[in-house]
Structure 1
């Protein structure tokens, strides 16, 4: 792994996961993909603004900084989220991301409130005054996120509440900055840079909104209106952005969203809009697709290609968890409220550790998953990929081609 850190006080659970005696869990991950950051480390105001908007959809970005890990620039961010499936309580994550041109390394600590929750906030709110409690977000004053940015998260209060998860992740962050090391080979890779926007749409070009399927090798299905057509990609851009929360989104329902792009069905010219604006300006990326039939695409795919597509879905479930979201793998025609059949994929804390979960609706009636409403396992790089493969086993029972399946982002409702 590109990052090494001090594991004193931690027990190693697997190759990439460590658990502290207090229950906090550290995870080290390498992504062989273009980083999913909305701006470069050299534009901290834009990066902070867009990250605040992103994390505000599920919780709140507490702070973000560019720091040095062993002389290598890294993004440090602390995020708070509601405890999943709990009426009260929060979970705090602290992550260090080292972005490179076509890869990244992430070291993250997850710390959840346990037992009586909200004590720090209750004491400080009474002292500070409720009228002074909630503040405009310093990175995005216009933001109204799921969780408020408030005075109680100020680091000046950490010393009074050393056992609070926010205090713990901050203390760990300071220690990591002082002691972590980065592999010299990884540190020397070209730095991540945002790509410039593409040229404007040519006059006469007719662009239609398209919702993509699960990508399989170099092929993708596109739901355009009531019709699904099939396309071969000609460059890696769409594959680099699909599933990572980077693309513009089309709402299906209040808490259901899909990636979207704009395509000229006559020429195959397409625009991939960025999900967030920079300085109020929408940007997009140009690409070109070649239309094919489902039979032509299927003939070019092997069983291993299909397995890779479901492994990819598992990895995207892991990335969605970092945004406070989970995924639904479902037929591309399911474009309204959640309907059967579908598989929900999530990574969330459970009894002091991160767990990856697949929930089937309806439960499979055939094969090794017969009668099982769900499968779960401790979250590791292998199990996150594996849960996608398990989802693929359920999909196989539906007799649906993977290019007719879609990833839908879901947000917790409670």
Structure 2
């Protein structure tokens, strides 16, 4: 009996202990629920950072949580922050935020979403880099492999392969009319032609870079000046094989005689009559001044020309006399006016056939004959632009005739090599 009583007492004690424990647990649960259940807002989804010039763009998605109202962005260990108001639609929304005025360097960004009640999301972090002046100063223009002048005096660049960060290269130069021009070389191209470059003028070039495939800004490298030294060679005969007449309104008419042909002016024949192709004559009464044009077949930067008088080899009584040219002008054009006017023509120089002895017309010395046989030389500066068409404007002849004749015109051109 006493044994049963002892068991009962133990059971009662155990029940009291368990009841007290349950009361304590209930008290802790109530404390946990005090203030309501904890609510989390949807976090920034697919958070990305895009580098820029002293700025960074953050981008993320708003998925299905309609309660999102704003986002707080922190960086520099939460020393800097920005609040962004958000409006959620019934679709997946993309949020783009620019963080401006950043010093050059890397940044860890923390994004926390908020609803209107102040509930927060779990934070999301992303790393991004802001580029700046230090990066820009490290950039070099795309390298040039070679520079040459074409036969038409056009400047040709060959460029080395660009690295992947180069977008394009800008080239600034002066054209023949002293006007500044800018051309752009794409990253994928390796050759560039400047057809109107002013010979001897400085060329400046710089390259655009994109530091990262995700970058939102590009950077222009420090520009480099290219000064090309020209070494000119003017002793290059222009082949007459492509020469032909450019006939325009207002030209002096041809004399009507057997064998007289304009093409005789570059036949290479210096002795004999017109039938032998030794000279060309304009019509009596055609008047002074008068002019005619030669198509050289290509653009030529004239370095010199030689004029042979009619009779310079055998008919000495004609040299420095009769209808041989005494004073004339040389003009150049690449776009001559169709009406025969001087519009589109540039005067290259005035020329005078000088008689060494300076004796009266009709008289001559051995020195006069030798000079005529060699051809009268007229030179042009190396800066002479390249022209395809040459106009000879005859001002007067030795005897003051109203017509002219000549045996031969020969031309030479400037050719040059470039070096930095």
Same topology, TM > 0.5: no
TM-score normalized by structure 1?
0.21
Bigger proportion of residues as strand: 2
TM-score normalized by structure 2?
0.21
Bigger proportion of residues as helix: 1
Larger radius of gyration: 2
